[in-house]
Structure formats: structure tokens, C-alpha cells
Amino acid sequence: MESRRILVTGGAGFLGSHLCERLLAAGHEVLCVDNFFTGQRRNVHHLLDHNNFELLRHDITFPLFVEVDEIYNLACPASPIHYQFDPVQTTKTSVIGAINMLGLAKRLKVKVFQASTSEVYGDPSVHPQPESYWGNVNPLGPRACYDEGKRCAETLFFDYHRQHRLKIKVVRIFNTYGPRMHARDGRVVSNFIVQALKGEPITIYGEGQQTRSFCYVDDLIGGFTALMDSPDDIVGPINIGNPNEFTIRQLAEQVIDLTGSSSKLVFEPLPADDPKQRRPDISAAERLLGWGPTIQLREGLLRTIAYFDELLGEA
Ligand code: NAD
Ligand code: UDP
């Protein structure tokens, strides 16, 4: 395969750093752009000496003038506590950031990939969620800056595609976990593992009967590249995730089991608009990309626990 120069926005974040690694391993040049809001230099530290890797501090709500052959747009905080910290900036990152990246792709006439989210389905009344479901989103609630920002970004991608014939790829990512999640980013897998390893109470919001379907990061990144490299008429949106569904209480029990922790479960109030259930219908990804997850929760958790164990040991 020919080597390409690829821009990854949000490249110093959890998913972005794994994507940069995968693209470098495939022989591409990577320009990683990040404002380090939730990303960390340590996520890409091991790539800094790589001849084909370049790191640029930049906020994508401002225009970016670079020359690349392909763009992956991942920049946006993904954890509820982080995207709700400065909700106006979250919307700006999704919407103005998308406009800037689409404008760049249009000038360069290159393909652009958007990291959208299962949050576009809101608190879904259709289960599991196929791409054809329009969603059930509260446009005024605390999650709206993220959900509506991502929905508007999808609209922009499809309008650039129709209006300017831009090549687009839109993926809807379901809950993903793995090494390099931020230890304090508040997402459930990192929270539970860190709490279990420290012997602190495991904080279950609500009664823990809400469900999520957790995808291991390596599987997800395989889905990204499969979509990006697929024929131009496959534009998405396409769900990528692991359809195995668990209650949050089951997740807590499994983390306690795998860490051998003595942590106890504590129950805290459920945040506003917290979706009650979530599971991807991945039949489109299977049919169009030949993609499906291969790493199940137990194996993925063991790898993630090993990462946090080492991280906490360094602290
Ligand atoms: P993350 O917070 O680890 O990474 C986001 C990265 O974007 C960070 O490095 C952050 O510093 C950077 N960033 C934020 N605002 C920016 C801006 N204005 N300009 C430049 N950089 C900026 O989160 P993640 O889990 O790696 O998520 C990556 C993408 O995938 C996001 O777009 C997110 O919405 C999407 N996503 C992730 C999940 C998941 O489960 N991890 C689920 C659905 C969607
Ligand atoms: N959650 C929890 N305890 C925590 C963190 C999260 O019970 O310490 C719950 C949260 O209320 C939600 C689920 O776990 O129902 C997934 O939360 P996360 O923030 O990881 O992602 P999202 O809600 O965006 O799917």
C-alpha cells in the first residue's frame, strides 16, 4: 500500500494515540494535532522519535493550514465530566472544528473521517440501535453540548458530501475502553478499574441496571481503518462497537473479580439524561467492511487492568 501523509486531530487522546500508532505501523506519515485539553503528551511520547511522526499543538476551532492526503477528525472530549466542563467549547469543537476540517479537506480534495458517537441516539427507544434510527436526544440537557454538537457535525459532513462532492467517512463509536484512557476522566471502565486497584469504593450511578456494550480499543481502530480504506461510496454513518451488552453492575462485579479487589459497591445518584440502554447493531459494519470485534470483555479488561496497574505503580 502506498504511504500517505495523514492528519489525526485529537491524536494525543485515548483513541487518537492508538490510531496514530496503527497508521505509523502501516507505513504512513502522521501529523498529530491536539490542544491537550484531555489528551496527554505521555500518550504519544513513545512516537516522538519516529521519523514519520509530527506533533502540533493546535485548537481545531481555529483554521489549520497544512498539506495532507487524508484526515481523521477525532478532536473532542469524550467523557461526560470533561465535555460538560466547558460545554460551549465542546459545541465549538464539534461544529466549528468540523467546519475547519471539512474546509481543509475541500481545499486539499482529500478524504475526511469523522469520529461520531452512539450519543447521537440519545436515550434510545429502539434497541439495539441501527444507523437508520434518528435518536432520542434532549437538546437542552447537560449532555446536549456533546450529542447535538456531534449531530450537527454529521449534518455538516453530509452537506459537504452532497454540496461539494467531498469524500467522507462517518463512524458512530460505541463505548470503547483500553490502555491510555485518562485515569481521572470519569468514564465507567477507567473509574471502576482505578477504584478497584486502589481498594476504594466502586461508584455505581443509579442502581447499575443501565446497560452499555464495551468495545476494546484495538478492535475499534481496526474498524476505523477498514472504513477509511473502503470504497468511496461507503460513507456511513456506520456503527462500530461490540454488541455484547452488560449492566453497569455486572461490569463492576467483573472488575472486582478480575482485580481480586476488596472494594465494595456504593450507589450514587444517576446523572441527568443518562441513557438506560445502549447496544450497537453492527450488521452494516459486518456486511460492508467485513468488520467485527474479536476481543471480548474479560480479555480487554485484563489488558486494561494491567495498564492501570503499571500507571498507578508509577504515581
Ligand atoms: P479523549 O478525550 O481521550 O481524546 C480527545 C482528544 O481531543 C484529546 O487529546 C483532546 O485534548 C483533543 N481535543 C479536544 N478538543 C480539541 C480541540 N478543540 N482542538 C484540538 N484537540 C482537541 O477522548 P477519546 O475517547 O479518545 O475520543 C476521541 C473521539 O472519539 C472523540 O471525538 C469522541 O467524541 C469519539 N468517541 C469516543 C468514544 C469512546 O468510547 N472513547 C465513544 C464515542 C465517540
Ligand atoms: N457510571 C457509573 N459509575 C461511574 C461512572 C459511570 O455507574 O463511576 C455509569 C454512567 O452513569 C453510565 C455508564 O456508567 O450509565 C457509562 O458511563 P460513561 O461515562 O463511561 O459513558 P456514557 O454514559 O457516555 O456511555
175 lines ligand 2 (CB under 6 A): yes
What are the cell numbers at 37?
485539553
Residue 109 lies in a domain: yes
pLDDT exceeds cutoff 90 at 315: no
> What's the predicted TM-score (pTM) here?
0.97
- Per the structure, the count of domains in the chain is 1
The ligand 2 atom at the shortest distance from the C-alpha of residue 195 is 8
Percent of the chain with pLDDT over 90: 97
- Condensed to tens digits (0 to 9), the pLDDT of residues 217-264 reads 999 999 999 999 999 999 999 999 999 999 999 999 999 999 999 999
Q: What is the pLDDT of residue 235?
A: 98
* 163-187 average pLDDT score: 96
What is the domain-level CATH number for residue 40?
3.40.50.720
**Which residues, 6 or more positions from 274, have their beta carbon under 8 angstroms from its beta carbon?**
123, 205, 206, 210
* 202-206 average pLDDT score: 97
- Condensed to tens digits (0 to 9), the pLDDT of residues 33-84 reads 999 999 999 999 999 999 999 999 999 999 999 999 999 999 999 999 999 9
Q: Which pLDDT band holds residue 2 (cuts at 50, 70, 90)?
A: confident
267 lines ligand 2 (CB under 6 A): no
* 8-13 average pLDDT score: 98
SS (H, E, C) the chain: CCCCEEEEECCCCHHHHHHHHHHHHCCCEEEEEECCCCCCHHHHHHHCCCCCEEEEECCCCCCCCCCCCEEEECCCCCCHHHHCCCHHHHHHHHHHHHHHHHHHHHHHCCEEEEEEEHHHHECCCCCCECCCCCCECCCCCCCHHHHHHHHHHHHHHHHHHHHHCCCEEEEEECCEECCCCCCCCCCHHHHHHHHHHHCCCEEEECCCCCEEECEEHHHHHHHHHHHHCCCCCCCCCEEECCCCEEEHHHHHHHHHHHHCCCCCEEEECCCCCCCCCCCECCHHHHHHHCCCCCCCHHHHHHHHHHHHHHHHHHC
Residue 87 lies in a domain: yes
Q: What is the pLDDT of residue 1?
A: 63
The ligand 2 atom at the shortest distance from the C-alpha of residue 119 is 24
Residue 170 lies in a domain: yes
Q: What is the pLDDT of residue 314?
A: 82
Q: What is the pLDDT of residue 46?
A: 96
Residue 123 lies in a domain: yes
Instruction: Name the residue at shortest CA distance from atom 6 of ligand 1.
Output: 10
Active site residue 146: yes
Q: What is the dihedral of CA 265, 269, 270, 273, to 10 degrees?
A: -170
Q: Where in the sequence is the domain holding 109, given as residue range(s)?
A: 5-176+216-242+278-293
Residue 102 lies in a domain: yes
Residue 232 lies in a domain: yes
* 145-154 average pLDDT score: 98
Q: How far apart are CA 33 and CA 55, in angstroms?
A: 6
The ligand 2 atom at the shortest distance from the C-alpha of residue 78 is 24
Residue 161 lies in a domain: yes
Residue 199 lies in a domain: no
Q: What is the pLDDT of residue 185?
A: 85
